[in-house]
Chains A and B, each alone.
Chain A
Amino acid sequence: MSELWEVLSEHFPELSSGFWVTVRIVAISFVIAMAVGTAVASLRIAPLKPLNWIGGVYVELFRNTPLLVLLFISFAGLRRAGVPIDAWVAGTASLGLYTAAYVAEALRSGVFAVGRGQIDASLSLGLDYPRTMRYVILPQAFRTVIPHLGSLTIAMIKNSAIIGVSLLALPDLLHQARLVNSRTFATNETFFWAAVGYLILTLLATFAVRRLEARYAIHR
């Protein structure tokens, strides 16, 4: 039992720096995922077939590519092609764009829940399509899918661990845990604390989602 606390106290600097790096990665990826996801969802439900098609291609591409493969392509692949992308950009962009595909699909289902009726009514009242989306449909769609977006955020927090142990080697929580493990060989104890770190983040996300749900969610 004392080994457990020993690992934490002796290696707290490494583990906590890893924790904060994970927080940064997740924060940046979250912003990318929400922004791009909303944009792609709009494309998917637009009344123009070409836009639908572009959105569709994006979703299929990023949903069906494993995150690790995406990381390799965005980092090693692009660099070999001459693009001097760095590990932070490649990592957060990959995680963000990957999650965005799922966010887009979630929002799309939210829009369907709002109903065609409202789109038609808004258009017939004289609002153009972008304004209809912005002021009428999307706000409702977001509020309908808050729980779903919460799940996607939790999944994204856990997926962030892949970045640290891939070629990109960002010093996130899991990377630092493996570092500490390689020095102490106290595998169980070290990864216990790493799990605790991720749990803190996912529980925070869960509580945030619950608060948002209580205030804003529309239950259909």
Chain B
Amino acid sequence: MTATTVATAALELRDLDVVYRVRGYDRQVLRGVSFEIGRGESYGLVGESGCGKSTAALAIVRYLPRNGRVSAGSINVAGIDALALGGGSLRQFHARSVSMVYQNPGAALNPSMRVGAQVAEAFTVLGVAKSEAAERARAALARVQIADPDSVMNRYPHQLSGGMQQRAVIAMALAKDPALLILDEPTTGLDATVEAEVLDLVAQLQSELHTSVLFISHNLGVISKMCTRVGVLYAGRLVEEGPVETVLQDPRHPYTVGLLRCIPRGGVRKDHGRLDTIPGFLPSLGAEISGCVFADRCALADERCRTDEPPLFDIRAAHASRCWYHERAQELPRVEAADLELPPIDSTRPPLLELTDLTKVFRQRGHDVHALTDVSVSIWPGETVGLVGESGSGKTTLARTLLGIVEPTAGTATLDGRELPSRYQKRSKTDLRALQIVFQNPDSALNRRHSVQRILLRSLKKLAGVGGSAADQRMSELAQRVRLTERTLTQKPVQLSGGLKQRVAIARAFAGDPQLVVCDEPTSALDVSVQAAILNLLVELQAEKQVSYLFISHDLGVVRYISDRIAVLYLGRLQELGPADVVFDGPHHPYTEALLSAVPTIDGGGRDRIKLEGDIPSAASPPSGCVFHTRCPRFLGDICVEQEPPLVEAEPGHLMRCHIPIEELRRLQAKETADA
């Protein structure tokens, strides 16, 4: 789709500069950003955190924080000069012209108001009579595919799942039939399966209503699925813009090229292909930049890039890049050249860790919640087992049980042949040092009052039993191994970027040379370029130390990249377990199949989406028979309702829990791939 003419554009930004005033200085956050969104068009804005995506959205709806202001440029929404509005006209603008959907629907809804009343409010604001508003709200909820609008209207937001909440928010946003709908990371907090449903819904509504959409995301896969054109933002500057397929397949700015190379995809695995990273850091907020904003981190940059700001070069129709060397942007040298030598896993040896029939039942308000049921997994030395499943599937409970934070109701864990006491308090020093964890959120995982040095020295003392000058020596080695500079050691976590914090957390886990490290979503709070560096580090440490990982992630691309074998959990039951390639390439368990097809990919195409209906059932009353039968796309009939299928070795090394024979699954799935 090409940009439509100025007169009909839903959004027109011209040379927009936004500054934030921090400690008495104006810091520039957006630098001359210009783009247009035609009527009915869906435009994506991507970039890593701190690039100014959300600032752009806030500037458009005139919600910049008090210390922020538009210092130059213009914003036109459907012909209205948004910057000229004030008082009543600004209110009218908010009420009628623009809508915004935020990342966290739980925070966007009023917790003390019933959903129906809130949605109805979106109509009464427009002047609809109270009596009619309820009816309109019901219709709006039905339009966002809420199956039972009447019961949903009577509930409070906390009684709805994240996906349902986001639907209600979207229903409110669309109430006014806005000239421009802004979606700011609308699915980032949701499970892949729910994300897929919400994205499908937005795509469908957009095609029905011809709403113009500004879609903000850090996820290129989502942008590729949802948008026709995309703009890449870096340090407040639009560095590349064009049709989605063109930009993703033929990027012409080194930043876009680097960003795409960071993402594990297309079946790349840790042993034959390291992820590329983007060296260096984003310029600090409001830095004075004379040349190209990306020059400092660009391997192609020369003197001209550092002194002269490149103009926006037109490469072909509607595709433009702000790079002097756009014609050879794809020749950007790789940062990670050498592949790693990973020693093969010797499965004839006894496994390092053996979990046998691990079961956990929580008592909650008089109900038994079956968080884990008979989970048996073994991990060999130097092996990575990926653990996937939607939230509520028991991934975290499994990790916490293994670490001894949660006591299992039944089942055992043995490490190196010796049985582990069920609680960490009773475990020996050797066991504690052997099992460590890297948490998802490094802000929460590091004590913000302690310096990096203090954190590492204490871990060395407790886990490796070294103190004094020997500890200093070990700390330097440890810091070097995870690529922390000397300067970082004296700093406190708050002074570090997310990636550096995660390196500190990894160093802490490795202080006592662990045998198995649980990685609980270690990269999901990080930007893709940082994620790539952290994944590389974990693989390097594995090659060097023969450490095993239990790697939990909802990002299937990441899991595939790092794992040797993959375990799929659903409602606390192991549904499938097998070598990573086999689990991904099929034949898959129907649940795995649904998970895989829910992921929006950059490469586009792929399989047709298998829809999972509804939310994951409550673990307090799991369905009879096969627990997955209520949502299974390949539901057979009574047998699935009545009998729980056993976990059987369907082919060597590939375990599956399904009534459908593996050959039948292979046939069904191959047929659909061929049809697609």
Q: Do A and B come from one complex?
A: no
Q: Which residues of B contact A (CB under 8 A)?
A: none
- A→B interface (CB under 8 Å): none
